[in-house]
Structure 1
C-alpha cells in the first residue's frame, strides 16, 4: 500500500512538472526569440552606428568644438547607450512574460531612475562643452574660467538633488540655495564679460593714483 502511494505521488509530481513545462514552453520559446532578435539588432545597429560615427568624426568634432578631450570615446558611448536601450527593451519584454504587474512596476521605477542618472551625465557633458567652447572663443581671462565650472557644478548638484530620496522640504531648501548660488555666479560672470574693460581701466587708474599719492 505504501509503495502504491509513493508511486502515485511520484506520478503526480512528474505530471505536474511536465504540465508546468508545457505551460511555460511558449514563454521560453518567446524569450529565446527575443534574445535572438535583440542580438541581431544590436549587431546590425553597432555596425551601422560605427560606420556613421567614423564618417561624422564625432570625437574629433566634439574636441574641436568644446576644446577639451574626454577620457572616453564619445562615439563608443553613444553606441553603448543604443545597446543599453535595446537590452532594456528586450529585458522588459521578457520580464513582462514571467512576473506580476507589481514587480514590473518596480522594474519600471528602477529603469526610470537609471535613465534620469544617464540624462544628468549627458546634460553635464553638453553644458560643460558649451561653456568651454564659449570661453575659448571669447578668450576669457584665466582668472574667470573657474566661474563656468562653478555654475556647472551647481546645476549638476541641483539635478542630483532632484533624484535623491530627500524630503520635499529639504529639496526645496537646497534648490533655493543652489538657485541663489547659480544666480550670483552668472551675475558675476555677466558683469565681468560686459564690463571687464571698464573695470580693469578703473582699477588701474585707481591704483596709479594711489601710487602717485604715496610717492608724493
Structure 2
C-alpha cells in the first residue's frame, strides 16, 4: 500500500511510493506531476495514485502540483480519476515516471469518452525575452483550431490545425505579442474573422522568460458554458 503525505510549502500534495520503512537518510527519488481535471459535467473528481487517494477533491480547471517518490530511477505509476460521489472509476492509466522529470497529467475528453493525457514537460528555457507555450484543445465537437498571438498575419499563427484532444509542441512568442492578444479560431488556410472562437486581450499576467500551458475548454464544468483559454505556469530549468 502506498502512503500519502501533504506538503504545504513546495507542493499541494506529495505521493510516496514505498513498501518498507526507509533506511536512515535514504536517497530521495522524485518525479513531479501537475494534475488537471477538464472532464465536463463533473464539478470535482477524486484522484488516486497507485492506490493512494488525494485528501482533497479536485475542482474543474484547478492545477494540482505534486511529487511522486519513486523506489527506482524509473517506475510505472497508475493514475486513476473517480467520481466524487460514488468513487466509481472514470478513467485510469499507467505511465513510466523518471527521476527528476516533470509531467502534465490531464483528465479531459467527454463524459461518454474520457481521456487521460500524460506528457513529460520539456523544461528548457525560452529564448531571452520570449514566452514559451503549449496549447491543449479540449472542446468536444470542435474541429481543429489555430492559435494567433499579437496579430492575424501568417507570422502570428503559432499553432495550426490542432486536433481535438491534442497537445501542441512547445512554441515561443515575444512577450509583447503574447500580452497584446491571443486569438483562437477554427482552422482555416488563412485568418478568417468569422472563424474566431475567442480573443484574450491585455494578458497582463503573462511575463517574459516563463512557460505556460494554455487549455481551450469551457469556462465551467457545464459543457455549454462560454469558452475560455485557461492559463497555467509550468516549470523551467
Give the TM interval when normalised to the shorter protein.
Answer: under 0.3
- Greater share of helix residues, 1 or 2? 1
Which structure: larger Rg? 1
